[in-house]
Amino acid sequence: MRPLALAGVLAVAVGLLAALDRGIAAAISPTSAVVTLIGVLGVVQGVRYANARRDRRRLLTDPGEPERRAPAAVPGSDLDERIARVASPAPGGYRDRRDLRDRVREVAVDAVARDRNCSPETAATAVDDGTWSDDPVAAAFFDTRTAYPLRVRLSAGVRGRSNYWYGLRAAIDEIERVEGGAP
């Protein structure tokens, strides 16, 4: 062990013993010259450590690129995108519109069958002829013989949306109402 480190260990040991036993503290009774010497040694040691750090090479730490979060799949987002695509007033997409209408029709038939406690065939007939709902827009969505109300056709023309979008929205709201949810 180095002599300076040994002196430090002995000084700490004597200090602990003096703190625990007052008799040892009274026997040491340091004079003002000893206390001054200890203070000067502490200052010299502090300056020595400060000078040792001055010559060290400083390296900057590169934190790197932060991790990118992987986007989580949102349930129903594919259906939302599909609805947005088919409900646009742009021409085309007849097959997509028909497929989505058939999908919503199946849900409506199931909801009406549960609500009215009837067979799926009876519920399908009610959905197809528009008697399943009091809302004329929802009824016209599935019934190809019934035209949308004039206010819906005008609103679709003014706002740049399709009649299909209004009918789809009304049908989904009506299904929620039939199921007992809030519209």
Please state whether the predicted TM-score (pTM) of the whole model is above 0.95.
Answer: no
pLDDT at 31: 75
Report the candidate in 112, 133, 114 with the shortest Cα–Cα distance to residue 124. Answer: 112
The 10s digit of each residue's pLDDT in 13-68 is: 887 887 788 787 777 777 777 778 878 888 888 888 888 777 777 778 877 787 77
Q: Which two tokens stand for residue 132?
A: 């399943």
